[in-house]
Amino acid sequence: MRACIAGMGSYVPVKVLTNTDLEGMVATSDEWIVERTGIRERHVASPGEACSDLAVQAAERALAAARVSAAELDMILLATCTGDYPLPATACLIQHRLGAAKAAACDVSAACCGFVYALSLADAYIKTGMRHVLIIGSEVMSGITDWTDRNTCILFGDGAGAAVISASDNDRGILSTHLRSDGSLCELITVPGGGSRLPLSEKVVAERMQYIKMKGNETFKVAVRTLEEVARETLAANHLGVEDLDLYVPHQANIRILKAVASRLGLPPEKVMLNLDRYGNTSAASIPIALDEAVRQGRIKEGSLVLLGAFGAGLTWASALIRW
């Protein structure tokens, strides 16, 4: 018994924010952003467009691709750090809107690693008897972005990607997942205000503590190291080498991080999925959006060996190896 990806879907808001648009908001330039990050534009939600709105669109596409009805779902796991409300879990709103009458629903909080963490949970639930688990990464990062901070506002975008994970009795599917964390590095990427440590107040808002703060340079170095380590660990656990991979689908954070990881692993550029130029860093949505695109572009076919690699706040890092 294996858990396989039966169908994928993604959705991004209509509105596009280009680097040129950002030039009018903070002291930056298209040239700087492209050179340092590889990002050219990102999609941003319109006022009133929330995490569950993007998630439902992506989920409906994934269900259609998988030919699974919402009524058949046993569980919905939503990976997000930008849910509609602090309470309840946004997954419950999605459960209701999809009409997934018998599905359990909860959110997974693992920042940019959320989709791979959710994939790992779905894999475990399938192996213990569930038939269909819907996993979604959906983020409205624009709502926690400080649009006056040029260090961070150039990086993030909004979007959603979803996958239906189903029980399968052939030998294709999720081969293994590898999840890690190191909370001693929690201050590298954080939203300091709005939680129980520093509840929302006029002071919190005045000091802009409800937005993402990031130590970009330190984050960059840890990202390269951990992505390489977890990729090697995953391949070794499956007695496979880098040369066996058909496609590496990493979290789309920064082109320089991904080029450094690919070069350390000895992966040629054509085996690395990149779409951050058009979406920026969409946190938990980035891997499923990239996976969905790779499938639709024919870069992933039946039998392809696909490695996912994620890294993000927590800190967390994670990978998964899939025989498609």
| Residues with catalytic function | 112, 251, 281
**Among residue numbers 184 through 203, which ones bind ligand COA (CB under 6 A)?**
189
CB of 220 to ligand COA, least distance (A): 4
Q: Quick check: 324 and 304 in contact, CB under 8 A?
A: yes
Please, which residue, 173 or 280, has the CB nearer to ligand COA?
280
154 binds ligand COA (CB under 6 A): yes
The region of 13-21, 138-146, 147-155, 271-279 touching ligand COA under the rule CB under 6 A is 147-155
Residues 6+ apart with CB under 8 A from 70: 63, 98, 99, 100, 101, 103
Please, which residue, 127 or 208, has the CB nearer to ligand COA?
208
Among 254, 282, 316, 319, binds ligand COA (CB under 6 A): 254
Strand pairing report for 305-312 and 158-168: unpaired
Please, which residue, 151 or 238, has the CB nearer to ligand COA?
151
Among 40, 210, 216, 240, binds ligand COA (CB under 6 A): 216
CB of 1 to ligand COA, least distance (A): 33
Rounded distance, CA 73 to CA 63, Å? 10
112 binds ligand COA (CB under 6 A): yes
Which residue blocks in the chain are alpha helix, DSSP H? 19-23, 30-37, 51-66, 90-98, 114-127, 202-206, 216-237, 255-265, 276-279, 286-296
Reduced to 3 states (helix: H, G, I; strand: E, B; else coil), residue 317 is strand
CB of 4 to ligand COA, least distance (A): 27
217 binds ligand COA (CB under 6 A): yes
Beta-ladder partners of 321: 176, 307
Using alpha carbons, list the distances in angstroms from residue 319 to 175, 188, 211: 11, 21, 27
32 binds ligand COA (CB under 6 A): yes
Rounded distance, CA 245 to CA 1, Å? 23
Chain center to CA of 55:
12
Site string for ligand COA, 63-92 (x = CB under 6 A): ------------------------------
CB of 70 to ligand COA, least distance (A): 31
Binding site for ligand COA (CB under 6 A): 28, 32, 36-37, 112, 150-151, 154, 189, 214, 216-217, 219-220, 253-254, 281, 311-312
